[in-house]
Structure 1
């Protein structure tokens, strides 16, 4: 009889201790990654805005409201909320403590802000900016020689108190600036400030006599005091009757000459008084300027890309009363090189900004741009969006600019507006015409026509519209 044999099965090798340790370690890392991802996703989902993202939800301590206003103050204003279900352009905020130290080191490093722009000196009784001719202004666009002095306002004394002047000169790091003239807006306190921001960042609000009286009326300040402060803001009164008749033009001085008003500051944020800052200024400076290695950060306009579009809107919506001067301004810019936006202008994504929020590093390029824009605004009108691309494209050296998406702007500032009013000739649905027929017996027949195109009954505006559509290279939009 044959000997029975049994089939032997292949034995599974026993894992070595080192292999088991490696697998255990890999499993732990996988679980840690999964839990971290889920936590950050949950935090991002529950965050009040999905456009802002911080490296850690705990590194930015928020503070309580800085000031309590009486109920009567600002009641005619309402907030414009945004309703975006998704965010296509989020902004990343670094660790607050780390960026705080980084910005402090930058402010102490003077070499990071050289060379220094030199300014033309002298007194001119005619205007604050001397109101140079077109060709004279253009001659300063090419700044190839650092020894050349550039006209940049202050040809008349800037009338502020000695207390305010000393405080402005002592602001040697970051300054946030705003202005209210003719009591047109209300003071909004910044929100979302870090624990050290108020100790290191200066907040200055420039006002005129009418605004100061309004603040005194609401008992927010006492006009008998030499210095005024409301919450985070130091209030600086200037005598507007010594400057421009138009209050908006007076607001251009702190908006574009902030580097001259605060000669020792290294970074600045301009914010229109219609806005309330809802993100820490240090976070904005670091994420939008320092991290991007640019001279300036400003939002794109939500609708317009070409300067001519903004010019037409300025005329159509009566943003500036002298439409004929707008035509002269556009003719001047077209004759001196202004072109519509094309991809050839990249990395500049647009010619029209929303200049309600401007974040600057006070270097030569940024300061030169601000001076040149101010000179254009004094020459024509305070609508800075019209001069923006003309100066930016024509100046040398070129400005390093971060034009971020409008949805980012909407998440770092809250806008307040007056109650909207329209007249009978204005409608969001378009333009129209009415026809009234009366027969011999007095019977009336009324007809209404609505146009699906823009129209105007203003002769000067019509002439501007016709000029902008003649087909010249500058007007092709």
Structure 2
């Protein structure tokens, strides 16, 4: 199925590797409150999104946002129940308005993983599925603060170059195999899982990074910022 998915057709099905179900946020193992679900189906030209799971980060208010962006661009922050409880006790957040500054808070229940980092990957990588009627999205890890107007970001990284996706690269490492060893040293995941993933990459034809791969400047996306157009091929990202 995976190999066939790269044969782009006018109509095709691409399976989701994270959650089950037919509608994002409903009976999927990544549950979103019923009163919020209609919001996911709304049409928007642009959205900005982020997530905090396991109360690892604090909500940072975007700055330098134009009046046009404030009026037309929704800002969504996904949080789990643990972070939700923390927010209610330590911030101006209330369940009545579900907002902190510009951010609309979306509480996720029944998360599929015990590791908060893995749960955070779901909205990060599948934002185009959670918001199927959005044209463009900007993902920002919660450790970062948005300090540039979203329209300027889209113009610089997508519209100016006629691109469909842009992603931040790793600030230090450019080689996947070096990154794998660094993850082992940091004990982010068990070594067997990392080795399995590396072997998969090798079978797919990945080789160590060298200057011969230029103009590709890195094989290691850091992914703390993802700017994408929501088009069918985005499903193959």
Q: Shared topology, TM-score over 0.5?
A: yes
CA contact (8 A) 2:111 2:119 kept: no
**1:95-174 → structure 2 map (5 Å cutoff):** 136-140=1-5, 142-152=6-16, 153-156=18-21, 157=27, 158-174=30-46
CA contact (8 A) 1:171 1:202 kept: no
Given the superposition, is the C-alpha separation of residues 267 and 303 from structure 1 closer, same or farther in structure 2, using an over 3 Å criterion? Answer: same
Aligned partner of 2:169 in structure 1 is 300
CA contact (8 A) 1:295 1:365 kept: no
Return the match for 1:359 from 220, 224, 227: 227
CA contact (8 A) 1:307 1:351 kept: yes
- Please give the alpha-carbon distance, in whole angstroms, between the structure 2 residues aligned to 1:298 and 1:144: 23
- Please give the alpha-carbon distance, in whole angstroms, between the structure 2 residues aligned to 1:139 and 1:244: 28
CA-based RMSD = 1.8
- Please give the alpha-carbon distance, in whole angstroms, between the structure 2 residues aligned to 1:177 and 1:171: 15
CA contact (8 A) 2:65 2:149 kept: yes
Please state if 1:259 is matched with 2:138: no
**For 1:280-324, what per-residue CA distance to the aligned partner results, in whole angstroms no more than 9, with x for missing partners?**
11100111111111111122222211111111111112222x012
**Whose RCO is larger (CA < 8 A, sep 6+)?**
2
Please state if 1:234 is matched with 2:99: no
Given the superposition, is the C-alpha separation of residues 353 and 263 from structure 1 closer, same or farther in structure 2, using an over 3 Å criterion? Answer: same
Cα drift, residue 367 of structure 1: 3.0
Cα drift, residue 182 of structure 1: 1.2
Cα drift, residue 257 of structure 1: 0.8
**For 1:182-241, what per-residue CA distance to the aligned partner results, in whole angstroms no more than 9, with x for missing partners?**
111100000111121111111000011110111111142234x3x4001000000010x3
Please state if 1:220 is matched with 2:99: no
Unaligned runs of 5+ in 2: 22-26
- Please give the alpha-carbon distance, in whole angstroms, between the structure 2 residues aligned to 1:331 and 1:177: 32
Aligned partner of 2:68 in structure 1 is 196
Please state if 1:340 is matched with 2:208: yes
- Please give the alpha-carbon distance, in whole angstroms, between the structure 2 residues aligned to 1:276 and 1:217: 22
- Please give the alpha-carbon distance, in whole angstroms, between the structure 2 residues aligned to 1:300 and 1:181: 23
Please state if 1:184 is matched with 2:61: no
Cα drift, residue 170 of structure 1: 1.7
- Please give the alpha-carbon distance, in whole angstroms, between the structure 1 residues aligned to 2:157 and 2:172: 21
Return the match for 2:236 from 355, 368, 373: 368
Aligned partner of 2:139 in structure 1 is 270
Aligned partner of 1:56 in structure 2 is none
Cα drift, residue 154 of structure 1: 4.5
Structure with bigger gyration radius: 1
Return the match for 1:211 from 63, 79, 83: 83
Structure 2 length-normalised TM: 0.89
**For 1:225-263, what per-residue CA distance to the aligned partner results, in whole angstroms no more than 9, with x for missing partners?**
3x4001000000010x34222211111111011111111
Given the superposition, is the C-alpha separation of residues 346 and 366 from structure 1 closer, same or farther in structure 2, using an over 3 Å criterion? Answer: farther
Please give the secondary structure, in 1, of the residue aligned with 2:67: coil
Unaligned runs of 5+ in 1: 1-135, 370-477
Cα drift, residue 181 of structure 1: 0.8
Please give the secondary structure, in 2, of the residue aligned with 1:360: strand
CA contact (8 A) 2:49 2:76 kept: yes
CA contact (8 A) 2:157 2:166 kept: yes
